[in-house]
Amino acid sequence: MNTIEIERRFLLANDTWRESAAPPLLLKQGYLSVEKERTIRVRIVGEQAWLTLKGYISDLTRSEFEYPIPLADAENILANMCPFKMEKLRYLVNYQGFSFEIDEFFGENAPLIIAELELPSEESEFPRPNWLGEEITADGRFTNAYLSKHPFGSW
């Protein structure tokens, strides 16, 4: 099924978001393709796994096809077919009816922490909590696909 993902990304101004964050989930990701025009990702969260294909439409909007796959297949693909990998903790923070996803990266991407917010349209308005910092949506270096190949620590 084709869906459209409209997402804004931000650096964080402070750590006060942690006060209202849900317990984090560990995300393990690997990329088969990290091109701007298309990314192909395998993601494992606990005992669940997905294969995701994304196509570039604009800095805010991508087409997205996501399919659940068997965990064993995902582990095999991640171990043997993905040249670019990353791990991160994802926290959900609800703020005035909006759900922010806060990603805290490990390894060579540490200490990077990014807030993401999915919206129904590119023009959608949303509240800006005091912990939300500089918007980085248009900076392609902060996409997960780019970070998997060019870790934050190497910039």
Q: Which residues are catalytic?
A: 31
Do strands 48-56 and 61-68 pair parallel, antiparallel, or not at all (unpaired)?
antiparallel
Q: Could you give the CA distance from residue 119 to residue 117 in angstroms, rounded to a whole number?
A: 6
Give the number of other CB atoms < 10 A from CB of residue 155.
8
Distance of CA 113 to the CA centre of its chain: 11
Q: Are 60 and 122 in contact (CB under 8 A)?
A: yes
User: What ranges in the chain are assigned the alpha helix state H?
Assistant: 71-80, 144-149
Q: Could you give the CA distance from residue 29 to residue 49 in angstroms, rounded to a whole number?
A: 10
The phi, psi pair for 27, rounded to 5°, reads -110, 130
